[in-house]
Amino acid sequence: MISPLAVLLTTCSFWCIFVTSVSISVPRDQVEILLALKNEFPSRNCDRKLADGVLQSPSANITSWTKDANSFDGVSFDEKTGAVTELNLRGACINGTIKPNSNLFRFQHLRYLSLSMNHFDTSSFHAGFGRLTNLEYLDLSQNSFIGQVTSSISNLSRLNTLDLSYNKFTNDNTPDTINFDSLPFKSLESLDLSGNVITRLNIGSKNLQELTLSSCNITEFPTFIKTLRSLQKLDLSKNRIVGKAPSLRYNSLLSELDLSSNAFHGSFPMIPPTMQIIYASNNYFTGDISLSLCNASGLGRLDLSNNNFSGSIPRCLIGKSLGTLKLHNNNLIGTLPYIEKSGLQILDVGHNQISGKLPRSLVNCTSLMFLNVENNRINDTFPFWLKALPDLQIIVLRSNIFHGLISSPRSHHPFPALRILDISHNNFYGRLNMELGKIPEAFTAIAISGNRLGGEIPESIGHLPSSLANLKQLESLDLSQNQLSGEIPEELRVLTFLAYLNVSHNKLTGQIPQSTQIVGQPKASFEGNIGLCGLPLQESCFRDNVPTSIPQTPEKVLNWKAATIGYGPGVLFGLAIGQALGLYKPVLFYKLFRL
């Protein structure tokens, strides 16, 4: 039992802390400067969108500022002196131009300043920033700052983090460029210059830990990087760097590396064993996958997609810590390696020349969510042995040599999390007796075209029972190029989320169910069935005049990621699956989901 004295002491402690937090005495001059700053930069309503289009709530609302110290949203004060030490005005929808005599430069004790995601359309990097000599954190990203970055920035000797990304800084001599020959900050640990055009760059800070130079129009690998021995994160993505990537072994603390979307060629560079995340997709790397990757025991994400790697996949590559492996669209051969117990969540080896069978050791990947082996030479039967994986949501087996029956062994809840199944263009045969229809509500896409499946369209797809039906969220159904017979079930009319339907080139008969989402499909989705009639086909089911076809509405351009994760609670994949979906573009979705 808690004693009354303990309760009293606890209550006293709470009130002491509370009174201290609100009883800071803010000097009158600081209040006046803040109110002057409010009047200098009007705030307006805006969408507050990030660079990737995601809505972002404002971190501060300066319209609420009054003479009351508690009204200064986004402002922090020194507990002893009451001086303003932090201004976090990120996404505050502030308008106007920062002038040389701005009230912003009057906060002499300011340590933290974020003005990112605002509307300083004609502002420059004035010398006034150099007067804020106590600054440790400066973020001016995602604005439209223009002009040159003046030498006054070198006065900010205490600066720890500098983010100038996605602006329009220029150089006096070369328009539309930013030129940092030297940044002599001894304490600088994080620098982001992304989205500006850089011709020359030399970083003088030996303590730099994070360097982000994405989308900077760089054409050569910066030679000074090998001197940054404290570097932990390096992002050179989306540039025009040509040539071989130098060894990064000298950066012995490096843990995150992004070289994606450049023009690197030759073998992949040597890396230190500290690596945890590597993105190197969309380049021209060749040769075998480097065994130095196996020495990175903590490697969690590896993306080497869209390169020219050859040889086989090293068995040592898939360690216990690896969660994402993307080797999409290379020239890899051999079989998939045996996988011991692994935390693998995303495995994408589509568009290679991998042969043999799927390794049964995939069942050891109990966290697997995304499996894509499309466009390879895998010769196997349907992997029903994966049915117990609790998180498996996407299976893509299209364009291989999978064969045999597709009837499921007895199981009450096979593939409990499955949402997308694509087995198109294989050699499956037999009746479409789809026990796979016993799947969760979130199931959104079935693609089985280009096989030898027969029988009628099963009730598990066409029939919606009173229990809300397993496939009520089905958005894409491709049964084309098989040997299906019978009629298209009328129940398909109530699949309100159905955005894509293709039953062409089968042996279907009868009238096409007349509902908006079905008759709005392209005529080609029903052609090749001699016995089908009704809109959108020209063949009438009656002997009277053929009705005029319903005008085809322009095809919707849908975002495939949104279509697969946008419905129902509890079905979000997270960022990792979002990236995986970005790579998954099967042919059947090209027309509808243009990515």
What digits encode the pLDDT tens for the residues 164-194?
A: 999 887 655 555 555 565 666 778 999 999 9
Query: Residue 121: is its pLDDT beyond 80?
Result: no
Q: Which among 281, 284, 241 is positioned nearest to 257, based on CA atoms? A: 281
Residue 478: φ, ψ to 5° = -125, 105
From the number of C-beta atoms within 10 Å of its C-beta (0-12, 13-18, 19+), residue 506 rates as buried
What distance, in Å, lies between the first and last C-alpha atoms of the chain? 63
Instruction: Compute the distance between CA of residue 453 and CA of residue 507 in angstroms, rounded to an integer.
Output: 11
In Å, how far from its chain's centre is CA 589? 19
Query: Residue 554: is its pLDDT beyond 80?
Result: no
Instruction: Compute the distance between CA of residue 400 and CA of residue 177 in angstroms, rounded to an integer.
Output: 49
Cα Dmax for the chain? 94
* Mean pLDDT to the nearest integer, 478-498: 82
User: What are the b/e assignments for 461-470, b being 16+ CB within 10 Å?
Assistant: bbebeeeebb
DSSP label at residue 481 = S
- Strands of 312-396, DSSP E: 324-326, 331-332, 346-348, 355-356, 370-372, 377-378, 394-396
Whole-number pLDDT of residue 282: 98
Residue 451: φ, ψ to 5° = -120, -160
* Mean pLDDT to the nearest integer, 98-104: 91
Cis peptide before 42 (omega within 30 of 0): no
Grouping H, G, I as helix, E, B as strand and the rest as coil, residue 379 is: coil
Instruction: Compute the distance between CA of residue 579 and CA of residue 557 in angstroms, rounded to an integer.
Output: 19
pLDDT, tens only, 376-397:
999 999 999 998 899 999 999 9
Instruction: Compute the distance between CA of residue 29 and CA of residue 107 in angstroms, rounded to an integer.
Output: 10
Q: Which amino acid would we find at residue 492? A: L
Whole-number pLDDT of residue 465: 32
Instruction: Copy the structure tokens of residue 58.
Output: 């404002």
* Mean pLDDT to the nearest integer, 198-226: 87
DSSP label at residue 415 = S
Residue 362: band (very low, low, confident or very high) from pLDDT cuts 50, 70, 90 = very high
Q: Which among 412, 415, 424, 494 is positioned nearest to 461, based on CA atoms? A: 494
**pTM given for the model:** 0.83
Whole-number pLDDT of residue 173: 56
Edge to edge, the sheet with strand 242-243 lists 242-243, 263-266, 284-287, 308-311, 331-332
CATH 3.80.10.10 fits 24-215, yes or no: yes
Instruction: Copy the structure tokens of residue 575.
Output: 């960022």
- Residues near 15 by Cβ (< 8 Å), separated by ≥ 6? none
Whole-number pLDDT of residue 181: 58
- Strands of 410-517, DSSP E: 420-422, 427-431, 445-447, 452-456, 476-478, 483-487, 500-502, 507-511
pLDDT, tens only, 5-16:
443 433 343 333
**Range with lowest mean pLDDT among 73-87, 196-210, 272-286, 347-361:** 196-210
Bridge partners (DSSP) of residue 233 are 210, 256
Query: Residue 305: is its pLDDT beyond 80?
Result: yes
Q: Which among 448, 410, 404 is positioned nearest to 428, based on CA atoms? A: 404
Helices (H) and strands (E) in the chain, counts: 7, 37
Contact 481, 505 (CB under 8 A): yes
DSSP label at residue 206 = T
The residue length of the chain stands at: 595
Residue 595: band (very low, low, confident or very high) from pLDDT cuts 50, 70, 90 = very low
Query: Residue 470: is its pLDDT beyond 50?
Result: no
* Mean pLDDT to the nearest integer, 431-437: 56
Instruction: Compute the distance between CA of residue 491 and CA of residue 28 in angstroms, rounded to an integer.
Output: 72
Mean pLDDT of the chain: 80
Sequence spans of domains, the chain: 24-215
Better pLDDT: 39 or 430: 39
Name residue, tokens 């694509």: 422
Determine which helix (DSSP H) or strand (DSSP E) holds 191, and give its type and residue range.
strand 190-192
Instruction: Copy the structure tokens of residue 549.
Output: 């076809």
Whole-number pLDDT of residue 560: 34
